[in-house]
Amino acid sequence: MSSLYEAGAMLAAECARYTALGWMRGTSGNLSVVLGRDPLRLAVTASGLDKGEMTASDVVEIDATGAPVRPDQPIPSAEAGLHGRIAAVSGAGAVVHVHALAPVLAAERWPNAVHLRNLEMLKGFGGKADDWVSIPVVPNSQDMTVLGDAFEAGYRPDTPALIVARHGVYVWGSDLYQARHRTECLEWMLRFILET
C-alpha cells in the first residue's frame, strides 16, 4: 500500500468524518489501515489525540501485536493490538473502531450477540437483505490479548464486526472506504432494531 504519511492523511480524513458523526467523542476511537502483509504492518492512529484535529503525522506503524516498529514515533492507540489481531485473522485491509452509542446500547439489550435480519442495509454491510447476521458481543477488557482471543473465538468470515460491551464497535473491510460504509450501515441497522 501507500507510505505511512499517505496512510496518515487518509486516516486523518476518515477520523474527521467519524468525529462529525459523533462517533469519536473526546479522544475515543482509532482507525488502522494495512501497510503490508508479510510481515503484517499497519498504520494506526496515535493515542490521546482529538480525532477531529488529526494530521497526516498523527499515525504510528505497528506490527501484528500493536507494537510500534519504528523509533521516534508517537504512542499508538492502546487498542492497536486488537487492530493487528483483526487484520491478521480476517485478512481485512482496514479496521475501524468507534465509540458510537447504538452498538453499545444494542449489546446492553442483547449481551451475547445482536441479530439482524431482513434489512436492506445488510447489503451495505456486505450481505443480502434477507441474510441472518449475528454480530458477536464480547465483554470489555483493557487486555488486548483477552479481547483478541474473544474476537477470534466468535469470528466468522461473513460477519465483519465485533461489539465490545459498554465500550464500542469494531468494523473491518478491504479498505477504509468499505470499512466506513459497513460501519455506517451497521450503525443504522442497530438504531433501527433498538427503536422498533
Residues that bind Zn ion (CB under 5 A): 168
Residue 67 has a CB neighbour count (10 Å cut-off) of 12
Find the helix or strand (DSSP H, E) in which 37 lies.
strand 30-37
Q: Give the residue with the Cβ less far from Zn ion, 84 or 168.
A: 168
Q: Give the residue with the Cβ less far from Zn ion, 165 or 193.
A: 165
Is 99 a known ligand-binding residue? Answer: yes
Q: Say if CB 168 and CB 138 are below 8 A apart.
A: no
Q: Which residue is nearest to Zn ion (CB)?
A: 168
Shortest reach from residue 96's CB to Zn ion, in Å: 11
Residue 56 has a CB neighbour count (10 Å cut-off) of 16
Is 83 a known ligand-binding residue? Answer: no
Shortest reach from residue 175's CB to Zn ion, in Å: 21
Radius of gyration, alpha carbons of the chain: 16
Instruction: Read off φ and ψ for residue 135, nearest 5 degrees.
Output: -85, 120
Q: Give the residue with the Cβ less far from Zn ion, 23 or 127.
A: 23
Q: Which residues are annotated as a binding site for Zn(2+)?
A: 97, 99
Q: Which residues are annotated as a binding site?
A: 97, 99
